[in-house]
Structure 1
Amino acid sequence: MAVESVRSGADRRLRRARQVTLAALVAGVWASLALPGVGLAREPDQTRVALGAVALLAFTVAQTAVLYAAVTPWLASPWRRRFQAGLLAVAVLSVPLAGPVAAGAWPTWAWLGATLVGMAPLLLATPAALGASAVVVAVSAAVARWTGGSVLDHLVITGGIGAGIAAVNRMQVWFWDLLVEARQGQRAQARLAAAEERLRFARDVHDLLGHDLTVIALKAELAARLAPVDAGRAGREADEVRRLAGTALHRVRAAVHGYRTVDLTEQLAAVADVLRSCGVRCTVVPPSGALPAPAAGDLAAVLREAGTNVLRHSRAGWCRIEVTREDEMATMTVRNDGAVAGGPDGHSNGLRGLAERLAVAGGTLHTGRDGDEFVLRATVPVRP
C-alpha cells in the first residue's frame, strides 16, 4: 500500500475527529452564552441592552477563536497569543458593558464569568488556571456588590457552573490531544521502521562489498606495480580484478533482488495493521503455504490497491482478506462493508491497470457490489 494512501486515510479520520471536537466545544460555549441573553431580555434600558449585546457578541467571537486554537496544533504561536489577548481584552470590557445589565434581577455577568472559568484550563497550566479562575470568581462577587445582586448566586454560577464547564472542555481537548499524539506516534513508528530498514540494507551491502572491494584494491595495486617489470603477471592480476568486480556486482544485484522479493504474508499483516489503525476491523486468512514469487508479487499489487480503496472509497467498519490456493490457481478475495456511491469500480484506473497486469500473467480480476459491501476477487496462476 502506498504510504501516502495510508496517511490520507488516517489523516481524514483525524480531521473528522477534530471537526467533531471543535463543534462540541463551540456548541457548549454558545449554549452557556445563551443564559446572559436572558439578562438582555430583562433589561428595560435600551442603552444597556445594546452595550450588553455588543459585549456578548464580542465574547462569543473571542471564545470561538480560542477554542479553534485549542484544537489546531499547527497554528502559529503569534496567532494563539493574539486570540488569547483578544479574549482577555473582551473579558475586561465586558465588566462595565454587561455587568449592569438586568442589575439585581438576573446575574448576567456571572454567566460570562462561568464561561471564562470554563476556558481557563484550555489556555493555562493547572496552577495558573486555578489562579485565573479565582480572580474571575472574585470579579463576579465584586460585580454582584456593584449591581446589587446576590453575591452567593454569582459565586455559585461563576465558580460552580464554571468548574463544570471547565471539566467538560478539558476532557474533550484531552481526548483530542490523545488522538494527535497517537497519530504522531504512528508517523514516528513508520519513519523509524524505514530508517531501520535503510540501516539494515546499508549493513548488508557493506558486508557484501567490503571484502571484495578490499581485495580488488590490493589486486589493482599489485597489477600496477607489476606492469613495468612483468607484463604477463600484471595482465593476469588485472584479469583477476575484472573477475572479482563481476562477482561483486552479481552479489549486489542478488542482494537487491532479495530485497525486492515480495513476502505476501508480511504484506497481508502490514495492510491489516494499517486498516486497524484507521478504525477498520480486519480479518486476514493467509494462504496455507508460500506462493511462488510471481504470483505473490501480483497478489501483493492487488492487495495494496484493495487496501487503498477501502480507505479512500468507503466508510468501512470491517474488512476480510482471504487468500486460497486450489490446484494451479491462487485466489485473493477482499470484502468490506460501507461501500458508497462513486467508489471504485472495474473501470477505475487502478483496478483497470491491475486487470491488465493479471491478464498478462494469465489471471483475472473481478469487482462488484453486494448491497453495501464491495467485493474484489483476483486469481493468478501458480507457477514454480
Structure 2
Amino acid sequence: MRRTTITGVFQQRLRWVRVATLGSLATAVLMTLIMPSIGLGRETDPLRIALGATGILVFAAAQAAVLYAAVTPSLTQAVHRRLLAGFATAAALSIPMTAPLGGGDWRTWAWVGASIVGTAPLLGGRATAGAVIAAAVAVSGAVGWWSGGSLVEYLVITVGFGVMTIGVTGLHAWLWNILIATQEEHSAQERLTAARERLRFGRDVHDLLGHTLSVIALKAELAERLVSVDAARAEREAADVRLLAASALADLRKAVHGYRTVDLRGELDEVSRVLRSSGIRCTVTDRTGDLPVDVAVPLSMVLREAGTNVLRHSTASWCSIELSRHDDEVRMTVTNDGAAAVRPDRHSSGLRGLRERLAETGGTLDVRADGGLFVLESAMPVTS
C-alpha cells in the first residue's frame, strides 16, 4: 500500500512537471506568433499580409507539434517523422511567405529564423540540430542581404534570440526527457526483476513437484505389489500416497501464489525499452504469432539473459531482436555490436545454464562473436 501511494504521488508530480515543461515550450511558440506578426502591421499590401499571416500560423503550428512530440515519448517514430517533415516544409514555405513582410522596417524572417534555431536541438541528434541551425542562419543572412536590411541585425536576431530560446525551452525539455528515461528504466528493471522472480518460483515448483511425485510414484508401485501379499500395509501405503498428494497440492498453492504466466510479447517490449533507455538503438521483428507456454517461457528466459549480456558485457550502440517461425520450430536471434573480445560462452554462466535447460526440451542455444558483433541464436521445437 505504501509503495502504491508513493508511486501515485510521483506520477502526480510528474504530470505537474510535464505541464510546466509544456508551458515553457509554449513561450517559444508565442514568440513565433508575436514577433514576426509585428511585420504584418507594417505592411500595406493585402496579398503580402494574407500570405504572411498564413505562413506565420502554419509555421507556429508545425513548431508546436514538434515541440510537443519532443516531450511525448509515447508517440511512434512514424509520427515523429511526419511532424519533422511538416516542420521542415513549414520552415521552407515561411521564407517566401514572410520574408517580404515589413520591408526594411522590420526583420520579420529573422524572428522566424530565431524560432528555428531555438527549436533545432529538440528535432534530433547533434548533427541534425547543427545542420538546421546553420541553414537557418544562412537563410537569415541571405534574406537580410536580399531585402536590403542590415545583415548584422538579421544575424543578431536569429542567433541571439535563438540561443535565448534554447536556454529557456531546451533546458526544460532536456531535463524532462532525462526524468522520463530514468523513470522508464527503473520501471522496466522492476518488471524484469519481477519476471525473473516468477520464473525462479516456477523452477522451485518444478523441483518441489519432481521430488514429491517421485515419492508418490514409488509408494503407489509398492502399494500395488503389496495388495496380494499384505493388504493392510498396502492400505497404509495408499493412505500415504493420498496424504503426500494433498501435501504437494498445498505446497504448490503456496509456492505459486501470485505467479502469472510469462508473456513473451511483454518481455520483448520490456527488454527493448530497457536497451533504448540505456542509449542502445533496438529493433524488434516478430513473425511468430501466438506461441505455446512451453515455448514462450524458455525463449523469455533467453531473451532476458541476452539483454543482460548486451548491457553488462558490451559497449553496444545497437541491438536487433528477431523471432521467426518455420513449420515446427521457432527461432530467436539477438545481435548487437560492441562485443567484448572474449569467447562467447564466457560472457555469462547463465548462457551455459540456459543451453542445458533448452536441451532438455529439444531446444538449442548457440552464440558467436565475429568482427565486434555478438550473435545469440536459440531455437525451440513447436508441437502445436
* Same topology, TM > 0.5: yes
2:112 & 2:41 partners in 1: Cα distance?
16
| Partner-residue secondary structure (3-state), 2:106 | coil
Gaps of 5+ in 1: 260-384
* Equivalence map 1:107-146=2 (5 Å): 107-146=107-146
Deviation digits for residues 58-97 of structure 1 (CA, Å, limit 9, x no counterpart): 1211111111111111123333222222221211111111
Q: Which amino acid aligns with 2:141?
A: A
- Map of 1:195 onto structure 2: 195
AA partner of residue 198 (structure 1): R
Q: Which amino acid aligns with 2:81?
A: R
Equivalent positions of 1:251-330 (< 5 A) are: none
Instruction: State the partner residue of 1:372.
Output: none
Match of 2:244 in 1: 244
Q: List per-residue Cα deviations over 1:131-156 (Å, max 9, x = no partner).
A: 12111111111111211111122122
User: Could you say which residue in structure 2 is the equivalent of 1:213?
Assistant: 213
SS of corresponding position for 1:185: helix
Question: What is the CA-CA distance between 1:224 and the residue it aligns to?
Answer: 2.8
Partner of 1:79: 79
User: 1:174 Cα deviation (Å)?
Assistant: 1.0
User: What pairs with 1:164-183 in structure 2 (closer than 5 Å)?
Assistant: 164-183=164-183
Superposed, which structure 2 residues align to 1:7-26 within 5 Å?
7-26=7-26
Give me the identity figure in percent: 51
Compare relative contact order (CA 8 Å, sep 6+) and give the higher one, 1 or 2: 1
Q: Which of 90-99 and 189-198 deviates more? A: 189-198
Query: d(CA) in 1 for partners of 2:190 and 2:206?
Result: 24
Identify the residue that residue 291 of structure 1 maps to in structure 2: none
Question: What are structure 2's unaligned runs of at least 5 residues?
Answer: 260-384
Deviation of the 1:201 alpha carbon: 4.1
Change over 3 Å in CA distance of 1:100–1:160 after alignment to 2: same
* Cα displacement (A) at 1:54: 1.6
Indicate conservation of the 8 Å contact 2:33/2:57, yes or no: no
- Tell which structure's C-alpha radius of gyration is larger: 1
Structure 2 match to 1:28: 28
What secondary structure is seen at the aligned counterpart in 1 of 2:103?
coil
Aligned residue pair count: 258
Tell me what 2:285 maps to.
Answer: none
RMSD of equivalent CA atoms: 3.0
Matched AA of 1:159: V
- The 1-side partners of 2:82 and 2:202 are apart by 49
Counterparts of 1:144 and 1:254 in 2: how far apart (Å)? Answer: 78
Give the superposition deviation at 1:255. 6.8
- Give 1:90's aligned residue: 90
C-alpha deviations, 1:224-266, integer Å up to 9, x for none? 3444565454334323323433444565677789x9xxxxxxx
CA distance in 1, matches of 2:251, 2:47: 89
User: For 1:22-61, what aligned pairs fall within 5 Å after superposition?
Assistant: 22-61=22-61
What amino acid is the match of 2:31?
A
SS in structure 2 at match of 1:124: coil
Secondary structure, in 3 states, of the residue corresponding to 2:161?
Answer: helix
Q: Shift of the alpha carbon at 1:25?
A: 0.3
Normalising by structure 1, report the TM-score. Answer: 0.59
Comparing 90-99 and 224-233, the one that deviates more: 224-233
> For residue 120 of structure 1, what is the amino acid of its counterpart?
A
Between 53-62 and 216-225, the greater mean CA deviation after superposition: 216-225
Letter in 2 for 1:92: A
Instruction: Supply the distance in 2 between the matched residues of 1:17 and 1:128 (Cα, whole angstroms).
Output: 27
Q: Helix, strand or coil: the match of 1:43?
A: coil
SS in 2 for 1:18: helix
Separation in structure 2 between the aligned mates of residue 106 and residue 256 of structure 1, nearest angstrom: 73
1:102 Cα deviation after fit: 1.6
Q: 1:32 to 1:57 in 2, by over 3 A?
A: closer
Q: Give 1:208 deviation, angstroms.
A: 4.6
Q: What is aligned with 1:376?
A: none
**Cα distance change of structure 1 residues 81 and 200 upon mapping to structure 2, 3 Å threshold:** closer
Contact 1:40–1:53 (CA<8 Å) still a contact in 2? yes
Cα distance, 1:202–1:33 mapped onto 2, change above 3 Å: same
Q: Aligned in 2, Cα 1:198/1:102: closer, same or farther, shift over 3 Å?
A: same
- Partner amino acid for 1:155? L
1:28-52 CA distance string (max 9 Å, x none)? 3312542212222222333322221
SS at match of 2:104: coil
What's the TM-score once normalised by structure 2's chain length?
A: 0.59
Task: Pick closer, same or farther for the CA change 1:210–1:119 going to 2, 3 Å.
Answer: same
Q: Which amino acid aligns with 1:136?
A: A
Q: Write the distance in 1 (CA, Å) between the matches of 2:181 and 2:115.
A: 28
Residue 264 of structure 2 corresponds to none
| Aligned-pair CA distance for 1:107 | 1.2
